[in-house]
Amino acid sequence: MAENNQTIVLITGANAGIGWETVKALLQSERSYHVLIGTRNLQKGQEALVSLKEVAFNTKSTTELLQIDVSSDESISKGFDLVQATHGRVDVLLNNAGIALDAELVFGDITMREAWNKSYDVNVSGPNILTQTFAPLLLKSFDPRLIFVSSGLASLGRMSEAHYPAPPPIPAGWPKKGAYLPSSYRSSKTALNMAMLSWHWILKEDGVKVWCVEPGFLATGLGGERAAQARSSAGHPSSGGKLLVTVIEGNRDADVGRVLNRGGIQPF
C-alpha cells in the first residue's frame, strides 16, 4: 500500500529494458514513489524485483508487481480493479510496453498482416485502452501525468525530407526486399503520437499533463534476437529511463503535448 506522500507511478512493460531502467531511476531518486511494475509475466516481474533491489537498496520508494498485458482487455480491466481497490488513484501512467516486428517480417517469421496488426494492437490500441480504463484513477491525482513512449522513427516531418535511417540505394523493380518495405513499428509509433495529441486536448481541462517521449536508439530487447545486430551501436537504456524520470519529476512541464527527446522536442 502506498503512503500518502508517495507518488504512484504505473509503468507497463517495466520488467525489462527502458521500463526497468525507469523504475531503477525512480528508486534512486531523492523523491518517494510507489512504483507499480506492470508485467505480463509475474515470474519475469519477480526477477526484475530481485535485480532492482541489488541496485537500489537504500531507496525511499516502494514497488509492487502488477500483472497486466496491454493486448488483453480482460487483463487491463483486472489491473484497474486491483489498483482502484488498493490505491484509489494513479499519479503517473507511463505507457512503455511496446513491440517491434519488422525484423521478424524481413526474415519471414510472420506475414505482413500479422506484423502490422500486432504492432498496432500492442503499440497503439493497448496504450489507448489502458489510458481509457485508468483515466478515472488519473483524475484522482493532484498532479496527473500521462506519458507514451514513442520513437525517433515516428517523425513525419523528418521522413518527408529523406528516408531515415538512410538505406542503401533502393533499386527500381519488384519485388523489393523486406528491409525496404514500410515499417509497421515506425507507423504505429506515428499513430501513437497522434493519440497522445488527442489525449492532450481531451484531458487538458482535467489538469492532466500529457507527452510522448522519444528515448533514443537504445540497446533493449525490442525486436527480439532478430534485431540484435541492429542494436550493436545503440546507447544504454538507462539514458531513456533517466529522461522519463525528468518528465515525471516536472522538468519538462513547459512542453506538454509534444514529443520530447534528450535534445529537446522532436518534430511531428
Give which of 76, 41, 26, 248 is closest to 149, Cα–Cα.
248
Angle among Cα 239, 91, 202 to the nearest 5 degrees reads 100
State the catalytic residues. 151, 185, 189
Give which of 115, 110, 130 is closest to 66, Cα–Cα.
130
The C-alpha torsion from 190 through 195 and 196 to 199, rounded to 10°, is 170
Grid look-up 534528450 returns 262
CA distances for 243 relative to 2, 174, 239, angstroms: 24, 42, 6
Angle between helices 184-202 and 126-138 (to 10 degrees): 20
For the beta carbon of residue 155, count every other beta carbon within 10 angstroms: 22
Grid look-up 526497468 returns 20
Give which of 198, 118, 189, 131 is closest to 158, Cα–Cα.
189
Alpha-carbon gap, residue 245 to 145, rounded angstroms: 12
